[in-house]
A and B are shown apart, each in its own frame.
Chain A
């Protein structure tokens, strides 16, 4: 009984524990490939090592926001007729957006460090940087909306609409380097074109993408479960309050 209760109040499982260990191990591999085995870049020198953090971070952020958009769209379409499915869709959208915001924040920090080494400044009012900050703040607003005290269905539906509108940011951020003249370099790896980097650097980047994807997946699953537990606690809290009021009324009568 106690074991069952304990299991219900935790967010881990055998699968996520394994995923967590795999994430940790893959990060160690990234440290080795990123700092030791991969060479300096001919143009960027040692600063290229920041690429192994910066590029996977923004890719994961894009992926997370796409998941948020897809699940928000499904929420708008399905939640009214299937409330349980709606709550699941809302939790996935919310947890993916949190991961996206964290990884966008880390992209900005790693980009600023790279900018200091390469450009000599932490920040430039460049199209890519500015649009990324706007995307970051847009999703912070989305997360703020999700935290407001309101009817859960109303809040989730409004958040879903905001998330769908926020998706406009993704192509703007990604193609900003093509649409405007920017200091930020264009896409280094594009389908159908020869990459700008050597194979050693590309292999290290591939390891980094896999490792950070595992980390994001692990964090996302845990966030989903935490959101679910918060919902259960909120519902139980209301039920307990109702039961307490009823008990008081019975004592009084």
Chain B
């Protein structure tokens, strides 16, 4: 088990190092997320009360857009220069690769969500009334999104038209994550009085299910092609 986690750590470190050096997440994906928040404000005619009520949903839609690009990028890196074959030859277990990718994507998205949350507070005049609930919602939602993203990223790996295929496969599956994340964040932002922690529970269940599926299928998916 500790060996598996060590291997996963190597993969996560590699991916995060590539991201850190290329600065794509900082220079392109984070600004894109903020841009989505701005565009929503235009679309809703900068109606402050409407933006405040919709802020949790708009936050997760911005995460969805940025997340799809992050997942796409994480798997495009593997398909270039025969890196996938090199990884397979390295003897690192597929389960460790899955966990490593999951960790790297989750960390990037979580940092992005912190930035977006500041954006929501600043631009939509939202107030974080339950900070712990907001942070745990972002964490569990990110994990659930990333687990699904890793599976479908591997499904579309190396295929032509993967850029269009990935969102088509991913969005219907992450829809419950967006719903639960939105409901829990609405509570954290004081927009609704629903039981936010119940929705966090759903996010934990979805994360666990898709992590288990990912651990089981990542090997067969990487063997192909």
**Contact mask for chain B residues 5-27; partner A; CB cutoff 8 A; 1 contact, 0 none:** 00000000000000000000000
B172 within 8 A of A: yes
A148 to B225, CA, bound (A): 14
Is there an interface contact between A158 and B172, defined as CB atoms closer than 8 Å? Answer: no
Residues of B close to A109: CB separation below 8 A: none
Query: Which residues of the other chain, B, contact A134 by a CB distance below 8 angstroms?
Result: 172, 175
Question: Chain B nearest CB: distance from A33 CB in Å?
Answer: 36
Distance between Cα atoms of A145 and B160 in the complex (Å):
10
Contact check, A144 vs B165: say whether CB atoms are below 8 A apart: yes
> Does B83 sit within 8 A of A, measured CB to CB?
no
Q: Which of B151, B159, B169 contacts A141 (CB 8 A)?
A: B169
A88→B155 CA distance, assembly (Å)? 22
Main secondary structure of the interface of B (DSSP, over half): helix
| A150 adjacent to B159 (CB under 8 Å) | yes
Q: Which residues of A contact B172 (CB under 8 A)?
A: 134-135, 137-138, 141
Given A138-B173, A141-B168, A151 contacting B221 (CB threshold 8 A): no
Contacts of B61 in A (CB 8 A): none
Complex alpha-carbon distance, A154 and B159, angstroms: 10
Among candidates A149, A150, A161, A168, residue contacting B221 with C-beta atoms closer than 8 Å? A161
Q: Are B217 and A161 in contact (CB under 8 A)?
A: yes
Q: Quick one: CB contact mask for B140-166 with A, threshold 8 Å, 1 for yes?
A: 000000000001100110111100010
Is the CB of B114 closer than 8 A to any CB of chain A? Answer: no
Query: Contacts of B3 on A, CB cut-off 8 Å?
Result: none
Residues on A with C-beta less than 8 A from B156 are 145
Q: Residues of B within 8 Å of A, CB-based: how many?
A: 22
Chain B positions within 8 Å of A135 at CB level: 172
Residues on the A chain within 8 Å of B221, using CB:
158, 161
- Are A141 and B175 in touch, CB under 8 angstroms? no
Distance A220 CA – B102 CA, assembled complex (angstroms): 39
- What CA separation (Å) do A185 and B209 show in the bound complex? 29
Residues of chain A with a CB closer than 8 A to B225's CB: 150-151, 154
- State the CA gap A119–B40 with chains docked (Å): 31
Kindly supply a per-residue 1/0 record for chain B positions 74-112, scoring 1 wherever the CB is within 8 Å of any chain A CB and 0 otherwise. 000000000000000000000000000000000000000
Q: Which residue of A lies closest to B167 (CB)?
A: A141
Task: Give the residue name and chain of the B residue nearest to A161 (CB).
Answer: B217
Contacts of A128 in B (CB 8 A): none
Known contacts A76-B220, A149-B160, A150-B225, A165 near B173 by CB under 8 Å: yes
B50 at the interface (CB under 8 A from A): no
- State the Cβ distance, A16 to closest chain B Cβ, in Å: 33
Q: Which residues of B contact A157 (CB under 8 A)?
A: 220, 224
Which residues on B sit within 8 Å (CB–CB) of A141? 165, 168-169, 172
Q: Answer whether A140 and B155 are a contact pair too, CB < 8 Å, given A157-B224, A161-B220.
A: no
| Chain B residues whose C-beta falls within 8 Å of the C-beta of A148 in the assembled complex | 159-161, 165
Within 8 A of B (CB), among A141-165: 141, 144-145, 148-151, 153-155, 157-158, 161-162, 165
Chain A's nearest CB lies how many Å from the CB of B68?
13
A210 to chain B, nearest CB (A): 32
Please give, as numbers and ranges, the residues of chain B lying within 8 Å of A168 by CB-CB distance. Answer: 209
CA distance A151 to B159 in the complex (A): 10
Cβ of B195 under 8 Å from chain A: no
- Residues of B196-225 whose CB lies within 8 A of A: 209, 213, 217, 220-221, 224-225
Best-buried of B158, B161, B224 by chain A (most CB within 10 Å): B224
16 A-B residue contacts at CB 8 Å? A134-B172, A134-B175, A137-B168, A138-B169, A145-B165, A148-B161, A150-B160, A151-B224, A151-B225, A155-B159, A157-B224, A158-B159, A161-B217, A162-B152, A162-B155, A162-B169
Complex A-B, nearest 6 residue pairs according to Cβ-Cβ distance, in ascending order: A154-B224, A141-B169, A141-B168, A138-B172, A137-B172, A134-B172
Chain B residues proximal to chain A, CB less than 8 Å: 151-152, 155-156, 158-161, 165, 168-169, 171-173, 175, 209, 213, 217, 220-221, 224-225
